[in-house]
Amino acid sequence: MIVRRFLAWIETAPVPARAAATGALARAYLFSPMAEQERAEAEAALTFLLDDEAPDVRRALAEAFAHAEAAPRHLLMALAADQSDIAAIVLRGSSLITDAELIDRAATGDALVQAAVAQRPELSPPVAAALAEVGELEALLALAGNPGAALPGFSMARMVERHGDDARLRDALLGRSDLPIAVRQSLMAAAATAAAAGPDGAAPRAEVAREATERATLALAPGCNPDALAELVSHLKTSGQLTPMLLLRALITGELNLTLAALGALAGMPPRRAAALAAEPHGGGFAALYRKAGLPPALFVPFRAALETALAIIGREGIGPGPYLARRIVTAAIAACAEAGHDGDSRLVLTLRRFEMEAAREEARIAARDMVAQRPAMLALAAVQQALLPDLRADEAEAA
């Protein structure tokens, strides 16, 4: 009887009152004890309200049922197909919507609907993969920033392919703890390319972008365990980034693990075998490894000299990768080029000189930071000396 009076009243009630009454009826259906006939009438009334032309009324339904385990499924699915702002409420919150239904809404909905799916507290790999493939940028941002999304590595790679030029997406993906090393490299390469662009967003010169990408890639190597290093090298090889210049730069900076893993991958042999052959840079085994890796003959002399120097310094002094080590390695490589008769103005020697300059500048930056860090202590010492100066002079005068 109450539901029937409600339906009679709602035909002429203003929208705010209808919306409030709809929310009240939905909560009563969910939480109040009702006879079977009364519950059936209430469900029929709530279903009838799906046709209300006022969005506020249908929104009241969505807000009441979004997190309710006892919500009628036909009501939920109708609301999930409503206009985007109403659909988003149930798509974001209801645990009763299946993966197949979520994938369908991700494929057919707009950015607001997709973002609502992406923001669910838990998101299965199939739904996350579907969003990565078809989602608008705003949905991908929500997906990348959702720690409850079980996002497959290949889907993250697809997101980078589609919208890797967006800094917000790069930052969101880089903040994920489950980001594969290969995708991290792609993101850092995209960021390096963007940073190499001019202030007006003009495309960077290919050489500038390449060198920025190489530096970003090498920054990843120190934190890699053997499995991650193998994954990184495989990705670089597959994507065509495992170039002779990248290997030479890696060697000069002292990243021996990356260099040896890359040599092994290019030569088609295990890293341990490649490392054994590289342990004797002047031996025939290393020369064979170099040729099998397909590296250019013109680089052999500086590459061998750099490898020999790196092995000697790291083995003897235990110095890790850094600008100090890089300067000593590149100096040896330049000297080997001169001894072999390379023109000092050749492209190879100029490249090595540029590596030398980069190492020198980085070494200077580190020294400057150290001096700045030490400055407060030096100022404090100077203040103490200034305060003691009268006493020191008095002692000197007394002694005289």
- H helices of 66-145, in order, are 73-80, 84-93, 99-108, 111-118, 125-134, 137-144
Going by the DSSP 8-state scheme, the letter that residue 296 receives in this structure is -
Handedness of CA 155, 160, 166, 171 (dihedral sign): positive
Beta carbons within 8 Å of 316's beta carbon, 6+ residues apart: none
Q: What is the mean pLDDT of each run of 10 residues along the chain (400 residues)?
A: 77 89 92 88 91 94 94 94 96 95 94 97 96 96 96 95 92 94 91 71 67 87 88 93 93 91 94 91 94 94 94 78 85 91 81 86 78 63 60 57
Determine the pLDDT at residue 199.
57
pLDDT at site 230: 92
Does residue 145 contact residue 168 with C-beta atoms inside 8 Å? no
Return d(Cα 183, Cα 144) in angstroms, integer. 13
Per this entry, what is the length of the chain?
400
- Whether the model clears a pTM of 0.85, i.e. scores above it, the answer is no
Compute the distance between CA of residue 119 and CA of residue 102 in angstroms, rounded to an integer. 12
Q: What is the largest CA-CA distance in the chain?
A: 116
What is residue 361's predicted lDDT score, i.e. its pLDDT?
A: 83
Cβ atoms < 10 Å from Cβ of 85: 13
pLDDT of residue 314: 84
Q: Where are the domains of the chain?
A: 242-400
Tens of pLDDT, residue by residue over 38-73, are 889 899 999 999 999 999 999 999 999 999 999 999
Burial environment of residue 222 by CB neighbours within 10 A (0 to 12, 13 to 18, 19 or more): middle
Q: Which of 111, 172, 123 is nearest to 144 (CA)?
A: 172
From residue 33, give the alpha-carbon distance in Å to each of 5, 76, 155, 184: 19, 21, 47, 55
pLDDT score for 387 = 60
pLDDT tens digits, residue range 340-367?
Answer: 887 767 888 888 998 888 888 887 887 7
Burial class (CB in 10 A: 0-12, 13-18, 19+), 47: middle
> What is the spatial distance between Cα 346 and Cα 340, in angstroms, rounded to a whole number?
13
